Amino acid sequence: MAADGHWLTFLVLMLPFAGAAVAPFLVRSFGHNAAWLLALIPAFMFYHFTGFLSSVANGETVAAGYSWIPSLGVDFSWYIDGLSLTFALLITGIGALIVLYSGGYLKGHPHLGRFFSFILMFMGAMQGLVLADGFLTLFVFWELTSITSFLLIGFDHVREASRRAALQALIVTGLGGLSLLAGLLLIWNMTGLGSMSALLEAEGALREAPLYLAALLLVLGGAFTKSAQFPFHFWLPNAMEAPTPVSAYLHSATMVKAGVYLVMRLNPVMGDTVAWETILPVFGGTTLIVGTLLAVRQTDLKLMLAYTTVSSLGLLIMLTGFGSEKAAEAAVLYLVAHSMFKGALFMVAGGIDHETGTRDITKLGGIGRAMPITFAAAVLAAISMGGLPPFFGFLAKEEIYAGLWQGSGWSGLITLVAIVGNALMFAVGFAVALKPFTGPKVETPKHAHEGPILLWLGPLVLGLGGLLTALASPLSHRFISNPMASAVVGEPVEISISVVPHVGLPLLLSVMTIALGITAYLALARGREIMAGTLRTIGWGPDLGFDQAIGGTVRISSTVTRVVQSGRLDYYMTATFIALALALFVPMILFGELPALPDFPSLRFYEWTVLAIAFIGLGAVLHARDRLTAIVSLGIQGFAVALLFMLLGAPDLSFTQFMVETLSVVILALVMTRLRLSPTDHRPTGEKAGDIAIAAVCGATLGLMLLRVTQIPFDDTLSAFFAENSRAIAHGRNIVNVIIVDFRGLDTLGEIAVVMIAGLAILALVRIRAGKPADARKGGG
């Protein structure tokens, strides 16, 4: 991965983030005019990428990068070919226009600097996404687009709808992001290849991998959520809560195309399978139809555009997955066309909103005279959207029909879907571009007049772009469409379509589409009512489903947590001891670690007696009517054990045990009398039986384990060493003492610390009274 000469690309990849850091300061100095300065950043990036055009047009690619995380074998790498280059040009080119437009649109907004920061961060993330070669580089940028999108949708954070939409987008695209990550890691595991360029070189490796289908579904999970495919489409219209520059940039021109990009990128290595050519057209086609139908229902200009964006994304997925070379070419043409006309139309909608105070299509009319430039931009964009010559959208539509129709039933169905979808989009597009401007003038909240240059420059440039790229189609094909289509198809292809109509089936289908579109345009008001009625009848949608899913998750979580974390110590103790019983019992049985049965012990009569006393003590504990008796009875058992120690020749131990038992009984008894607990502890029989069982298993298994351990010959190296050296070297007669103060003196130090801290903790407990600090008076030592 030599990186000589590629440092400039690396800088360009990082540049937007640097821009994001300085944006707030520039805005502080220059106000909204900082947009002119900040637009230089994407402009420079655009310029940098144009430098690759001719080499990429000649079929060259650039794969470069730096070693990033060598310990994981991860590189920070990028890959420039026709596909990523076109995307990069769209992102930076439209990005520059959007930055300018934002300056006009959010002029005077108190958080304009922050807004520019977010937009530039997004730009960097999006650019990194399409240029990324390494899987993890791609994933990092993929998630960064989701996060910046979250910030931008929630930009107007005061409104609840914004906040909800932001979180919804984050969750839906976050879900997809994790699915994508799983898919990419799975591909990496199966093929050993961790970058796109390597994957593209080893063409068949992935298709023949055993878990191809799983990897495909996971990757598509990422692509479909990001590119708002049905049934994940709902977050996109909600994301219209964002300021319009965001809608134009992220949610139509660039970010939502990340899924399409991914599918196009993987087409050469994952495509050409039954799964690919079924799943993509089915989901894409459904999305196309659902999106257009929902668009018809809307009256808000932005929402109309948002739903047609959903359908356009569906169309793109459908075309990419269809499997014919021409369909892939059509996808490429349509993608470029769509980025321009949809970006322009969104900016137009924002301009109308900004100047009139409303973007409800039923409350707008006749403002064309007041806003002529915006009107012109809108018409230019709508013609391209409608697929009329001589615009780029026309080229795309011709190629769509040429690519889809193959004479079979399946292709017929897909073609029909495309015709219906395109016709409805035609209607909606012209509705947005014509209805507000034409007809009788309607009074709007604000008096309409043309906006400043910042507001109309972007849409006008993009609108004209759709015209110029089509008129100069040999040029745009050579540098843009052909290299990109070649990357999508996986081998060099040549696109020849131009604005001069050729008589043939595609043209016929185009004419049908337009006729259908005009009809739909005229009947739009009726269609809206019908759709509204239908939706009311259905009553449920994925958007509502999302809320239900989230609400359900929270509710289930609360229920589970209430059960698990009940707040009652006795439950916790019971659960803990059940775990202990199982932990001892199960492995002992399962792995044959039970002790051998010992011989019947031959004890002397007084030993039997002491044992009997211990058992009597235990029996008394169980039978005790009140707590005090129980404590004392437990003491009996303890004393018996101490006696046993004595009899078995461990006087030290025995003495300690006597002390401990005496003190515990006394202290426990004192505490119990002071606590004013009820003298008895009633438990239902069932609970008692359960407790007895748990205690019996714990006690018995611990005993069995001890028995088992003592049946292993004991390694007495340590005791022998201590016996040998405690006198000779450590100069102590009492071995136990020497162990405590010398051999294991550190343990003793620790335990002394424990005793001291315990004392201190008790002091704090006794002295500090909540609310009234007890030591406010003098307080002693």
Partner 1 sequence: MAVDPGKTVDLAHAMVMKPVAAADWLVVAPVVIPLVFGAVILMLRHETRMHASIAIAALVATLAANIGLLARVIETGPLVMTMGRWLPPFGISFAADALGASLALVATLVALVCAIYSLSDIGSIGRRYGFYTFMLLMMAGVGGAFLTGDIFNLYVWFEVFLISSFGLLVLGSEHRQLDGATKYAILNLVATTLFLTATAFLYGIFGTLNMADIARKVDGLRDTAPLMTLGVMYLLAFGMKAAAFPVNFWLPASYHTPRIVTAALFGGILTKVGVYALLRTLVMLFPPELALLSGLIAWVAGLTMVIGIMGALAQTDLRRALGFVVISGVGVMMAGLALGTGEGLSGTIFYAFHSMIVMAALYLLAGVMNGVGGSYSIRTLSGLYGAHPMLAAFALLLMLAAAGLPPASGLWPKVMLVRASLDAGYPWLAFTILATGLLTTLALGRVFILTIWRPRAEERLAAAVSPRLGYTVLAALSLPIVIMGLYPDPVIRVAQIAAGNLLDAAPYIGTVYPGGGGQ
Nearer to partner 1, 492 or 699 (CB): 699
Residue 463, classed as helix, strand or coil, is: helix
The CB-of-397 to partner 1 minimum distance in angstroms stands at 39
Residue 1, classed as helix, strand or coil, is: coil
Distance CA 716, CA 733 (A): 19
As given in the structure block, the two tokens for residue 705 are 């384990």
Distance CA 520, CA 383 (A): 16
Cα distances (angstroms) measured from residue 14 to each of 66, 123, 128: 14, 10, 9
Nearer to partner 1, 94 or 223 (CB): 223
Nearer to partner 1, 43 or 582 (CB): 582
The CB-of-736 to partner 1 minimum distance in angstroms stands at 15
Nearer to partner 1, 160 or 443 (CB): 160
Nearer to partner 1, 114 or 207 (CB): 114
Read off φ and ψ for residue 77, nearest 5 degrees: -135, 155
Distance CA 646, CA 97 (A): 92
Distance CA 214, CA 191 (A): 14
As given in the structure block, the two tokens for residue 189 are 């595991």
Distance CA 124, CA 731 (A): 73
Nearer to partner 1, 612 or 702 (CB): 702
Nearer to partner 1, 372 or 773 (CB): 773
Q: Per the omega criterion (within 30 degrees of 0), is the bond before 42 cis?
A: no
Place of tokens 């131009």: 498
Nearer to partner 1, 14 or 413 (CB): 14
The CB-of-657 to partner 1 minimum distance in angstroms stands at 15
Nearer to partner 1, 278 or 576 (CB): 576
Nearer to partner 1, 174 or 390 (CB): 174
The CB-of-164 to partner 1 minimum distance in angstroms stands at 8
Q: At what angle do helices 274-297 and 301-322 cross, to 10 degrees?
A: 160
Other CB atoms within 10 Å distance of the CB of residue 407 = 6
Distance CA 371, CA 59 (A): 45
* Nearest CA-CA partner of 137 in 186, 75, 51: 75
The CB-of-733 to partner 1 minimum distance in angstroms stands at 15
The CB-of-346 to partner 1 minimum distance in angstroms stands at 24
Nearer to partner 1, 93 or 221 (CB): 221
The CB-of-332 to partner 1 minimum distance in angstroms stands at 30
Cα distances (angstroms) measured from residue 375 to each of 308, 313, 372, 463, 697: 20, 26, 5, 11, 84
As given in the structure block, the two tokens for residue 689 are 């039986």
Distance CA 767, CA 761 (A): 10
The CB-of-564 to partner 1 minimum distance in angstroms stands at 6
The CB-of-571 to partner 1 minimum distance in angstroms stands at 8
Q: Is 741 exposed, middle or buried (0-12, 13-18, 19+ CB in 10 A)?
A: middle
- Degrees to nearest 5, angle at CA 209 with 208 and 210: 115
Distance CA 88, CA 397 (A): 24
* Nearest CA-CA partner of 341 in 242, 262, 241, 428: 428
Read off φ and ψ for residue 227, nearest 5 degrees: -95, 20
The CB-of-27 to partner 1 minimum distance in angstroms stands at 14
Other CB atoms within 10 Å distance of the CB of residue 149 = 27
Nearer to partner 1, 529 or 570 (CB): 570
- Degrees to nearest 5, angle at CA 225 with 221 and 227: 115
Nearer to partner 1, 69 or 666 (CB): 69
Nearer to partner 1, 181 or 335 (CB): 181
Distance CA 299, CA 79 (A): 42
Distance CA 580, CA 695 (A): 10
* Nearest CA-CA partner of 385 in 198, 521, 205: 521
Distance CA 351, CA 332 (A): 29
The CB-of-69 to partner 1 minimum distance in angstroms stands at 5
The CB-of-779 to partner 1 minimum distance in angstroms stands at 7
What SS3 string covers 534-569? HHHHHCCCHHHHHHHHHHHHHHHHHHHHHHHCCCCH
The CB-of-569 to partner 1 minimum distance in angstroms stands at 5
The CB-of-297 to partner 1 minimum distance in angstroms stands at 28
The CB-of-435 to partner 1 minimum distance in angstroms stands at 35
Nearer to partner 1, 502 or 744 (CB): 744
